Each structure stands twice: as structure tokens, then as C-alpha cells.
Amino acid sequence: MKLSKKMSISKILIYTFLVLLAIIYIAPLLWMFSVSVKTNAEVFASPFALPEAIQWENFHVAWSIGKLNIAIVNSIIVCVATLLCSMLFGTMAAFAIGRMRWKLSGTVMTYFLLGMMIPVHCILIPLFVTFAKVQLNNSLIGLILPYITFSLPMTIFIMVGFFRNMPGELFESACMDGCSIYGCFFRIGLPLAKTGLFVTGLMTFVNNWNELLLAMVFISDVEKKTLPVTLTYFVGPYSTNYVQMFAAIVIAVIPTIIVYSIFSNQIVEGLTAGAVKG
């Protein structure tokens, strides 16, 4: 009886903590949506009250006049291209480091990990000057290349752990049956590491979707601006249209919420698999 009572009390405390944690995370999103459907007068008068009348035109203004439609297309192009390239090159490099036996594998791994320690601010000016010389500034390609470069170290770091924890007998049996190294990678390695692909893919997508510094420095054409840069246009030096700004922010966070909702189980499974060695 005492044990069961202790377990029930512990469950109540755990569920209470989880409910409070969910409220803490969800409340700012609900408040942000509430502000986005108000008028500016209502925001200044009562920022935490419910709107008197829902102003759906705020989303229309943010989408069309604020040119969010163009910015979202640019962000999708940049993020998808970065995701595909970083996942392809990163997983291939991680497979070579984690499963293949060669002398410089540890050195190459250290070299890639050094990329995680270098802040983007340190190479911003040299990178801008170099891109200006080869005429890659003010283009989406000039934004995709550094995104891929900064996404590779984390992708390789995580995927090496997944490949190293795979049973070596699978690859030995495949090689004995005549499977090439590319076959081992595409037919065995990638299917077994799909949970790691979900984790690294989501991290790459979200990080590049929200990236502001490189996009603001490298892109000057308004028609090529990505979503984070376009959001800054709603804040002026003398006035700010808060309701339209919050409407634009709601539109900006919807893709990440959808991605998290769809792949939440795979993400948790991938984080668990990457944390346990067997």
C-alpha cells in the first residue's frame, strides 16, 4: 500500500510538472496569436486581453504588402537545398569516419568538429569579400554555400555516433555477398540511421530557417530576402506596427510547428537512440 501511494504521488507530481511546463511553452504562442488579430489601439490599451473583434486583415497585409510570400519562397529554396546537400555530404562523410577503417579518420573528424567552434562572426567579413570577388553575393547560392558549411559539422558529429553503434556483422555479411561500399551505405547504413536523419534534418532546417545574420549581410535585393530579414522590415526607426509584425511572426513559425508536429515521434526516437550505446 505504501509503495503504491508513493508511486501515485510521484505520478501526480510528474504530470503536474508536465502540465505546467506545457502551459509555459504554449502560453507565449497563444498570446502571440492573440496580439496578431488585434488592433494597435487594443495592444497598447490591454495587451493581455482577448481581442474585441478578430482582425484577419492583419495576416493579409503582412502576407502581401510585407512581401512574406516572396520571403517564404526564398527561405524554402535555401533551406531545402541546404538540407539536401548537408544531409547527403554529411552522412557520407559520417559513414566514412564511423564505419570505414583508415588512418586519418580521427583527424578528419577533429577537423570537422573544429567547424562547430568557429563563430560565424569571425569569418563574416572575409567570406563577404570572397563572395564579392566571385560575384556570389546578393544571390541565393551565396547564401546556400555557407549554410551547408555550417550545417555539416553538427550533421557529421551526430551521424557518426549512429553509424558507429550499428552492428558490424551486417556490413561484413553484405560485403561477403558482393555488396559494394556504396551499397552498404545506401541499402544498410541510411535505412538504419533514419532516426538520426530526422534529428539532424530538423536541426538543419530550423537553424537555417531562423538564420538572420548571413542573410542580412549577403543579400541586398529585396526580392531575394529570406523570411527572418523580411520580418525586420515591420520594425521602423520611429514607429512599429505591432499587430502586423506579430501576424508575420505567426506565419513564420507555422512551418516549424508543422514539422515538429509531424516528426515528433521520430525526433524523440532519434535522440533516445543517439544517447544509448549498445
Taken in order of first residue, the domains within the chain and their CATH numbers are 66-275 (1.10.3720.10)
What pLDDT, on the 0 to 100 scale, is given for residue 272? 58
Using one digit for the tens of pLDDT, what is the confidence trace for 203-247? 899 899 989 889 988 888 888 889 888 888 887 665 677 888 888
Note the pTM of the prediction, 2 decimals.
Answer: 0.81
Least-confidence region, from 118-132, 191-205, 253-267:
253-267
37-95, pLDDT tens digit by residue? 888 888 888 888 888 888 888 888 888 877 888 899 999 999 999 999 999 999 999 99
Q: What is the pLDDT of residue 91?
A: 93
User: Rounded CA gap, 246 and 62, in Å?
Assistant: 9
What distance in Å separates the CA atoms of residue 240 and residue 237, rounded to the nearest whole number? 8
- Half-sphere CA count of 71, side-chain side, radius 13 A: 29
